[in-house]
Copies of this chain bind each other. A is one copy, B any other.
Amino acid sequence: MRVDQRAPSELRPLKLEIGSNIYAEGSALISCGDTKVYCTASVEERVPAFLKGTGSGWVTAEYDMLPRATQTRNQRERQRNGISGRTQEIQRLIGRSLRAVCNLEALGERSIYLDCDVLQADGGTRTAAITASWVALICALNGLVRERRLRQLPILSQAAAVSVGLVNNQVLLDLCYVEDSSAQVDMNVVMNSHAELIEVQGCGERSTFSRQQMNAMIDLAEKGLGELFVLQREALASHSIYLPKQITHE
């Protein structure tokens, strides 16, 4: 039995609220159990130097935690000299994951910034950030279509992420903080709605893992991601945003 009474293959209670910020071109607030991430998507009509003149756009992400997102208070990163390795790893992962389902040429020479700020952190903040960022991105792109700045959504598929892990030799889906901190193996899986992998990061600092265990973890992740893709579509539909089948692959 898990610490919060869930079955091994059960996601935590989920909520995905669109429009949590009135200024951003797109926004979504996700809750996965006690984990809460506030995501905004901002459109800027310019690209980084390396893309100028290429006709291609850019999608990038920033990640941060409020000082009291955790059980004990953390210092703000602005007080350190530079951004921590953990933060950089996470925001690079979010950016890569979204770019993998985005047609950057079709986006044109503009940038979308995804800002993911963790209000409460009970494990799985990076995967929650990816799942919610994809929704905020769609809202922002949908606005560009509505304003006729784009002809159609420059999007190839849905993208979502979930954590899986090996805890007490048992494969578990969607680890909360207590499970995560005692996991032998911790794996984050990012997939698209066409059942293809975007990124897999499995790490066994406390223990190593066999090929079989790895496959069992990815199987379980795939199951959870199916539920997350439905959640994303429902949240968008409740705001009257309906996606074509070639994106959702329903």
A203 to B195, CA, bound (A): 15
Beta-carbon contact of B198 and A200 below 8 Å: no
* A58 CB, min distance to chain B CBs, angstroms: 12
Question: How many interface residues does chain A have, given as a range?
Answer: 35 or more
Beta-carbon contact of A192 and B218 below 8 Å: no
Q: State the oligomeric state as a number of copies.
A: 6
Beta-carbon contact of B73 and A76 below 8 Å: no
* A199 CB, min distance to chain B CBs, angstroms: 5
Q: Which residues of B contact A208 (CB under 8 A)?
A: 100, 191-192, 194, 196-198
Beta-carbon contact of A23 and B70 below 8 Å: yes
Binds B, one of A4-12, A88-96, A227-235, A238-246: A88-96
Beta-carbon contact of A200 and B200 below 8 Å: yes
Interface residue ranges, A against B (CB under 8 Å): 21-24, 27, 34, 38, 40, 42, 44, 62, 64, 66-73, 76-85, 88-89, 91-92, 96, 99-100, 113, 115, 117, 119-120, 191-192, 194-211, 214, 218
A5 to B247, CA, bound (A): 40
Q: Which residues of B contact A198 (CB under 8 A)?
A: 203-204, 208
